[in-house]
Homo-oligomer: A and B are copies of this chain.
């Protein structure tokens, strides 16, 4: 029997293994970390002891010494929804896939909207806990973005196209796709196309709104303020603000919704008013969430390549971290209209 097995296993260090193996901790380090070469026989001997002792490296020490944490941070805007929002969930899933592939780890930083205490981004950056950060849907007026960009710390903005030349971002073409939707509805015969807007503190939503304007213009339609509901992304607000539309001559004949959640609420309201979708009014959503195909009628929507967004963001960030890419990284992914039953 082996006495060694009775030692407390939760504080075994490289040195302990080294002493048993009769080498220096440096040699064990090379074996365990896989960096540097070691004679095959001693390598095997060390590996055996590592297994017997059930040694697990202290990653904290490793990171402090190597100046690399091998983890990336994700900053999530914590409005009401956070994870409840499938939108973020999908992007995160994409990020996770890449993170795993490259053997990185993942740290989550939820951020209150109000939060402004001393530039969280730089605090995170300098904490050395992460090698780079991905910011999901930052607010357009976020003052701290600039100092982050200037700091040289690796970061990627997701869904935050910027006119500024120096920001790193991955985005989807919200403007173009909203024009496309307007065009689609026009060709279906719609002439009073309404719009329920998202959160105007997000670049994304502004682009959508601008796309709606462009689309109308392109089709030769006039913009009417009454046809827009500024729901700021809240399904509940969309539902109740539809009051204004509920006199027959005010009604649009098509409604573009900033998100699928909003579209669902809108359809629910229409149903309760006995207005038929798509016969009386066509409804289009954005995102193609899981449940879009289960609504009655099934929701016509614009599919965001959310998984791809997450993956691209993570891949580019890791590229930046490992010096294989250089700033600025600026990418825009295409969207796709999924025609189902609601329009």
Name A residues whose Cβ lies closer than 8 Å to a Cβ of B. Answer: 9-10, 54, 56-61, 63-64, 69, 71, 78, 82-86, 88-90, 92-93, 96, 100, 105-110, 122-123, 125-129, 151-153, 261, 264-265, 268, 271, 290-291, 294-296
Contacts of A106 in B (CB 8 A): 107-110
Q: How far is the CB of A247 from chain B (nearest CB, A)?
A: 25
**Alpha-carbon distance between A294 and B123 when the two chains are bound, in angstroms:** 41
**Alpha-carbon distance between A153 and B125 when the two chains are bound, in angstroms:** 29
List 24 A-B pairs, Cβ < 8 Å.
A10-B153, A56-B127, A57-B126, A58-B127, A59-B128, A60-B69, A60-B127, A64-B64, A82-B89, A82-B93, A83-B96, A84-B86, A84-B290, A86-B89, A96-B110, A105-B107, A108-B108, A261-B290, A264-B291, A264-B294, A265-B294, A268-B294, A294-B295, A295-B296
Q: Is the CB of B122 within 8 A of A56?
A: yes
Given contacts A54-B122, A268-B294, A294-B265, contact A105 B129 (CB under 8 A): yes
Give which listed residue, B100, B151, B291, contacts A10 with CB less than 8 A: B151
Contacts of A57 in B (CB 8 A): 126-127
**Alpha-carbon distance between A63 and B82 when the two chains are bound, in angstroms:** 28
Q: Oligomeric state, in number of copies?
A: 2
Residue of B nearest to A12 (CB): B126
Residue of B nearest to A57 (CB): B127
Given contacts A90-B83, A96-B110, A108-B96, contact A56 B296 (CB under 8 A): no
Residue of B nearest to A92 (CB): B83
Residue of B nearest to A306 (CB): B84
**Alpha-carbon distance between A278 and B318 when the two chains are bound, in angstroms:** 52
Q: Is the CB of B84 within 8 A of A93?
A: yes
6 interchain residue pairs of minimum CB distance: A56-B126, A83-B89, A59-B127, A296-B296, A60-B128, A106-B108
**Alpha-carbon distance between A69 and B69 when the two chains are bound, in angstroms:** 13
